[in-house]
A and B are shown apart, each in its own frame.
Chain A
């Protein structure tokens, strides 16, 4: 299980590949990997968005993400989990978040990946400030429904 708060742009597929290669306990054992990647859009609430700043509460963020992963590990028998989340200045198309889980079977993988993502969105202390195309900026005060 690993949680990374990253202040620089990351390539989720490379991070995923490198992490999995370092996990010998997965070798020959896992039957499913579920991955979610969240990416910045260039619009929100009907406005063009040119950039975003992601703030977090250092310490509390890591603690809550670790707790979320621990809970999912128990509930879905995860063999491994990885969460990477950006902070700082972000541009459209930049990956914001990566959630990956490894399990024996697909049901647990799909459900755990989704549950970690939904818990992250409701509990982990991150906040987005959008820079709009017209030069204004604003805090995002609520998450989009998303599904």
Chain B
């Protein structure tokens, strides 16, 4: 299973968090972060400024995933 999270304006765009189960991972050949986006996005483009984290570390779209990973998509951060 891969856990997918969306924060802030990405949640407005993409909807609620979701889990992708092992059968779908195999059937759709979901190996990378980009594959996760493609599966979840229903054709929506990912803006160049969208940030990605896997297991809470920043990564890029080519990052390979393994079972149990948590993938998060979010807009530029605006704390402080």
Question: Which chain A residues numbered 106 to 146 have a C-beta less than 8 Å away from chain B?
Answer: 117, 120-129, 139-143
Residues from chain B with a CB closer than 8 A to the CB of A129 are 8
Determine if B79 is an interface residue (Cβ-Cβ < 8 Å): yes
What's the Cα separation between A121 and B76 when bound, in Å? 10
User: In the complex, what's the smallest C-beta–C-beta distance from A64 to chain B, in angstroms?
Assistant: 8
Q: What 0/1 readout, one digit per residue, does chain B (61-80) give for beta carbons within 8 Å of chain A?
A: 00000000000101111111
Determine if A70 is an interface residue (Cβ-Cβ < 8 Å): no
Residues from chain B with a CB closer than 8 A to the CB of A126 are 77-80
Residues from chain A with a CB closer than 8 A to the CB of B76 are 141-143
Residues from chain A with a CB closer than 8 A to the CB of B8 are 55, 127, 129, 139
Q: What 0/1 readout, one digit per residue, does chain A (26-51) give for beta carbons within 8 Å of chain B?
A: 00000000000010000000000000
Give the total number of A-B pairs whose CB atoms are below 8 A apart: 72
Q: Is the CB of B80 within 8 A of A127?
A: no
What's the Cα separation between A54 and B77 when bound, in Å? 11
Q: Is the interface of A mostly helix, strand, loop or mixed?
A: mixed
The verdict on A57 contacting B80 (CB below 8 Å), with A125-B74, A127-B75 known, is: no
Determine if A101 is an interface residue (Cβ-Cβ < 8 Å): no
Question: Which chain B residues numbered 25 to 53 have a C-beta less than 8 Å away from chain A?
Answer: 51, 53
Q: Is the CB of B53 within 8 A of A127?
A: no
Binding site for B on A (CB under 8 A): 38, 54-57, 59-60, 63-64, 85, 96-97, 117, 120-129, 139-143
- A sample of 25 inter-chain contacts (CB < 8 A) reads A54-B79, A57-B74, A60-B72, A63-B56, A85-B79, A85-B80, A97-B80, A120-B79, A120-B80, A121-B78, A125-B79, A126-B77, A127-B7, A127-B8, A127-B9, A128-B78, A129-B8, A139-B8, A139-B12, A141-B9, A141-B78, A142-B78, A143-B76, A143-B77, A143-B80
Binding site for A on B (CB under 8 A): 5, 7-9, 12, 51, 53, 56, 58, 72, 74-80
